[in-house]
Amino acid sequence: MIDLKITLANVFGFNSFRPGQEDIINHLMQKKSLLAVMPTGAGKSLCYQLPALLFENQTIVVSPLVALMNDQVDVLKDLGIKAERVHSGMSESDRSKAWEGFQNSWIKILYISPESLMRDSMLNALRTLKISMFVIDEAHCISKWGSDFRKEYEQLKDLQYHFPNAIISAFTATADEETRADINNKLTNNKAKIFLYGFNRPNLSLAVQQKYNWREQLIDFLEDRYNQSGIVYCLSRKQTEDCAEFLSKKGFKAIAFHAGLDTKVKNNAQDRFMTEDNLIICATIAFGMGIDKANVRFIAHVSLPASMEAFYQEIGRAGRDGEDSDTMLIFGNDDVYKRKGFIDNSNAPDSFKIKEHKRLDALVTYCNSATCRRQTLLSYFMESCEPCEKCDNCINPPERIQGTEYALMVLKTIYYTGQYFGSNHIINVLRGVFNEKVRSRGHDKIKTFGFGKNNSTIFWKTFIQQMVSSNCLRINIQKYGAIQITEDGKKIIEGDDEYFYRKILLDTPKKEKKSKIGRISSSTLLEEKSLLSALKSIRLKLAKKRGVPAYIIFPDTTLHQMITNKPQTLVEMSEINGIGPQKLEKYGEIFLSIIKDFN
C-alpha cells in the first residue's frame, strides 16, 4: 500500500488530510466509483487529484467553467503536476498542444468541459487511451433538482456505458437527498458509494438584519473592510450597478457583475477578483461558481437569496482558506414577496415550484430565527451543533418586548382599511401621514389614524416584518402584496393572545471589531501587519510575473503561518503547512529573505 501521506506532503505540501479526504482517496484507490458531498472549501480537488497522480493510467476531470479549469490547472502546474485543459476559450494551437500531450500520455490529468468531452470525435479518441477515472466536479449540475442545472451535464449519463472499465467520481458541495439520488442514478446507475461530510463551516460568522436602508446597513458592515475582498450579492442587475457605484463613491474598490454584461467585461471582472486584493464584487447569482478565491473575507446579501441552498452556497464562497470570515444578510419582506413572485411566474412544473417555495420559506425562517443561526442553518441540512457563540443571536440574544399594544394598532389599521393594502400605506395611516392616497380613500377618518406617530417609519416597517415572520400577518401574493390578518393575528385582536417582538435596533450598535489577522497580541500587531503586507506585496509581484492569482503562489493561511513561525532556514520554511518541495524551491528563498529583514 502506497503511503498517501507521503504524496500529500511531497507533492501538495500538506502535513495532514482534512476530514473525509483520506476515506475518499482510499475508496478511489480501490478503483471504486463514488459521489462525495463536501462543503465548499473542504478540499474536494485534492480527493481526486492525489489518486489521479498515483493511478497508473490517466484521469479526465469534467468541470463546468473555463475559469474553474484554468485555475485548477494553474495550481497543479505550480505543484509540478502534469495537468492540462482543453476548452473553447483557448487558442487552436494551445488546445492541440494540450491534447497532444494527453494523447501521448505525458499529461496525467486533463480538464475538459462536458460538451467537449461528449463529442463523438472526442469519445472515439479517448477509447484508444487508457482512462482510469472520470471526475465530475460540481456534479449537482446534472440534476434538475439541484440548484444549478446545466443541459451539457445531462449528456454525461452515457459516460459509464462508453467507458465501463473506468471509475466515476462525482463531487459537489450542495446536494440534498433527492439530488444525490438523482446524480448517482444518472452517472453510475446507482453504483457509486455516497460519502457525506458536514455542512458546518465554523470559521464563518452568521448575521441577519432586517432591511431599512440597505446602503446604510451595508456601509456599516463594511466599515473596516477597506483592505478585504468580498462579494455583495444583489437581487437585480440594476442593483449590482447601483451598489458598485455607491461603494466606489465611499472609497471602496468595487465593480458590478451580472449575466447581462459583455463576456469580455465579465471575464475581466473575474480575473480582477482572482488576482487583486481588496476588491468587492457586487453581483447577481451569475457570479460565483468557479470563483475559487481562497481569501474572500466576507459575503453580504443586500437582498434575500432564492433559497436556503442558494444562500448556503453563496456564503460558502467566503473563508475557503479556513480563516475567520463574516457573512451578513440584509432582508426585507418586499424581497420575500419578489422571490415568491419569481417562483410563481417561472414555467417550472408545479412540483418544482412547491419545492422552491419550501426552500425559500426555510431561508425566511433562518432570517427570523431568534436562536443560534448556525443551529437553524444546520438543522435544514439535517445536522446539529451546539450554540456557536459566533452568530448575532448567540452574541446578542434578541430581547423580547411586550408589544401587544403596537400589534393591535397594526392589526386594527389593516382591518379598518379592508386588508387591501401593502405595508407602506398601512404605515402612513398609522403615522398620520396626510397624503393623496390617504385623503382619497378617507383613511384619515379611521380610528387608528395617527396612533403610531411616535415611532418612525423604519420602526413600523420592521415591526410589521416581524409580525409577518411570526405568522400573525400574511402577505397575499395573489393580491399584489396586500397584508392580511391570519388566524394567529385574530387571536390577538380578540384578546386571546399577547404579542412579543424582538427589540428593534434602529441605530445598529457598532460591533467591537476583531483583529482580522487573529491570534496576534496588540503590542506586536503593528510589526506583524507590516510583515504581512511585505509578504503580500512580494506574492503579488510573483503572481503578476507568472500571470496567476496571488493565492496560487501561497494562500493567506500560509503567509500567516510564516508570520507566526518566522522561519529562519529553508528547512524551517518547509515545515509550514502548504509548502511542499516544489514551492520551497520556487519561492522559499525569496520569502525567507523578506522575513529575515524583519528580524
Binding site for ligand ADP (CB under 6 A): 14, 17-18, 21, 38, 40-46, 292, 294, 320, 555, 577
Retrieve residue 282's grid coordinates: 457586487
Question: How many other CB atoms are there within 10 angstroms of residue 121's CB atom?
Answer: 8
Retrieve residue 562's grid coordinates: 510564516
Minimum CB distance to Zn ion, residue 392 (Å)? 8
Whole-number Å distance between alpha carbons of 210 and 234:
15
**CB-based contact 462:504 (threshold 8 Å):** yes
Minimum CB distance to ligand ADP, residue 8 (Å)? 7
Q: Which does 294 bind (CB under 5 to 8 A by kind): Mg ion, Zn ion, ligand ADP, none?
A: ligand ADP
Nearer to ligand ADP, 38 or 254 (CB): 38
**Bridge partners, 83 (sequence order):** 109
Nearer to ligand ADP, 134 or 337 (CB): 134
- Per CB under 5 A, contacts with Zn ion among 234-263 are none
Q: Which does 372 bind (CB under 5 to 8 A by kind): Mg ion, ligand ADP, Zn ion, none?
A: Zn ion
Q: Which does 87 bind (CB under 5 to 8 A by kind): ligand ADP, Mg ion, Zn ion, none?
A: none
Minimum CB distance to Zn ion, residue 552 (Å)? 34
Minimum CB distance to Mg ion, residue 135 (Å)? 11
Retrieve residue 512's grid coordinates: 467591537
Q: Which does 391 bind (CB under 5 to 8 A by kind): Mg ion, Zn ion, ligand ADP, none?
A: Zn ion
In this structure, is the dihedral angle defined by the CA atoms of residues 592, 594, 596 and 599, taken in order, positive or negative?
negative
Nearer to ligand ADP, 41 or 114 (CB): 41
Q: Which does 40 bind (CB under 5 to 8 A by kind): ligand ADP, Mg ion, Zn ion, none?
A: ligand ADP
For ligand ADP, which residue has the nearest CB? 43
Site mask, Mg ion, residues 355-384, x = CB under 5 A? Answer: ------------------------------
Residues 66, 362, 388, 563: which binds Zn ion (CB under 5 A)? 388
Nearer to ligand ADP, 14 or 420 (CB): 14
Whole-number Å distance between alpha carbons of 62 and 84:
12
Nearer to ligand ADP, 7 or 476 (CB): 7
Burial of 540 (0-12, 13-18, 19+ CB in 10 A): middle
- 542-550 LR contacts (CB < 8 Å, sep 24+): 542/587, 542/590, 543/275, 544/275, 548/74, 548/78, 548/275, 549/71, 549/74, 549/274, 549/275, 549/293, 550/275, 550/277
Q: Which does 38 bind (CB under 5 to 8 A by kind): Zn ion, ligand ADP, Mg ion, none?
A: ligand ADP
Minimum CB distance to ligand ADP, residue 138 (Å)? 9
**Bridge partners, 230 (sequence order):** 280, 298
**CB-based contact 14:578 (threshold 8 Å):** yes
- Render the burial of 354-378: b for 16+ CB within 10 Å, e for the rest: ebbeebbebbbebbbbeebbbbbbb
Instruction: Single out the residue of 483, 238, 414, 210 nearest to residue 331, CA to CA.
Output: 210
Nearer to ligand ADP, 17 or 252 (CB): 17
Site mask, Mg ion, residues 41-80, x = CB under 5 A? Answer: ---x------------------------------------
Question: How many other CB atoms are there within 10 angstroms of residue 214's CB atom?
Answer: 23
Minimum CB distance to ligand ADP, residue 426 (Å)? 45
- 391 belongs to the binding site for Zn ion (CB under 5 A): yes
Nearer to Zn ion, 38 or 391 (CB): 391
Retrieve residue 572's grid coordinates: 524551517
Instruction: Single out the residue of 399, 401, 410, 423 nearest to residue 472, CA to CA.
Output: 410
- 112 belongs to the binding site for Zn ion (CB under 5 A): no
- 161-164 LR contacts (CB < 8 Å, sep 24+): 162/123, 162/127, 163/126, 163/127, 163/131, 163/134
R_g of the chain, CA atoms, integer Å:
27
Instruction: Single out the residue of 341, 350, 339, 336 nearest to residue 471, CA to CA.
Output: 336
**Bridge partners, 482 (sequence order):** 476
Q: Which does 17 bind (CB under 5 to 8 A by kind): Zn ion, Mg ion, ligand ADP, none?
A: ligand ADP
Of 38-46, 185-193, 325-333, 566-574, the segment contacting Mg ion by CB under 5 A is: 38-46
**Bridge partners, 195 (sequence order):** 36
**Crossing angle for the helix pair 350-368 and 333-345, to the nearest 10 degrees:** 170
- 207 belongs to the binding site for Zn ion (CB under 5 A): no
Q: Which does 394 bind (CB under 5 to 8 A by kind): Mg ion, Zn ion, ligand ADP, none?
A: Zn ion
Minimum CB distance to ligand ADP, residue 14 (Å)? 4
Minimum CB distance to Zn ion, residue 77 (Å)? 41
Retrieve residue 439's grid coordinates: 385623503
Of 36-44, 46-54, 383-391, 465-473, the segment contacting Mg ion by CB under 5 A is: 36-44
Nearer to Zn ion, 385 or 594 (CB): 385
Nearer to Zn ion, 296 or 391 (CB): 391
Residues 394, 467, 538, 548: which binds Zn ion (CB under 5 A)? 394
Minimum CB distance to ligand ADP, residue 549 (Å)? 11
Nearer to ligand ADP, 85 or 425 (CB): 85
- Per CB under 5 A, contacts with Zn ion among 334-373 are 372
Residues that bind Zn ion (CB under 5 A): 372, 374, 388, 391, 394
Interface residues toward Mg ion, by CB under 5 A: 44
